[in-house]
Amino acid sequence: MEERVKNLLDKHKDDKDLTSEKNYIKPGWDWSEASLRYWKLEGIVFSHNNKKANFQNVNFNKAHLKNTMFGGAIFENAYFGGANLENAYLKGANLKGAYLRGAILKNSRLDSTCLENAEMSGADLQNVKLWNSNLTGAKLQNSNLYCLMPIFTNLKSITRH
């Protein structure tokens, strides 16, 4: 994790709300190993395909991430248990091994995303776009797949029971 991220998290450790910092936060920062548990991060542009942010091993447990921009971000082994990612933009993101159990991803863009070995049991995937995504080994038990759009997606070896 880079120093400006540490300083920002320290500044807001009591209110756990970075929405007032939308104009300060720039795409491509290194947030790896941060604990963003229960934080409010709605509507922030963290990453896009030209400036990929690093969120490896970040804890987003029950974080508020509605309308966030995470295009191309790296989330390997990140924890999103119960997080609200409704309308989030995750196109091209790497969520390999991520924990998304009970996460709300309703109306999110996950096309061209790596979800290999992701734990997504009980997740709300209603109206999620998964075009050209890799779900090899992903677990989707008891997930809401209503209107899921998996066109040309690798669904090989997913667990749906």
d(CA 35, CA 41): 13
Strand ranges (E), the chain:
45-47, 69-70
pLDDT digits (tens, 9 = 90+) for 18-56: 999 999 999 999 999 999 999 999 999 999 878 999 999
The full set of domains in the chain, from first to last, is 1-161 (2.160.20.80)
Position 115 pLDDT exceeds 70: yes
58 touches 32 (CB < 8 A): yes
d(CA 104, CA 143): 10
69-70 and 45-47 beta bridge pairing: parallel
pLDDT value at position 73? 97
Letter for the amino acid at 50?
N
Between CA 93 and CA 103, with CA 17 as vertex, the angle to 5 degrees is: 45
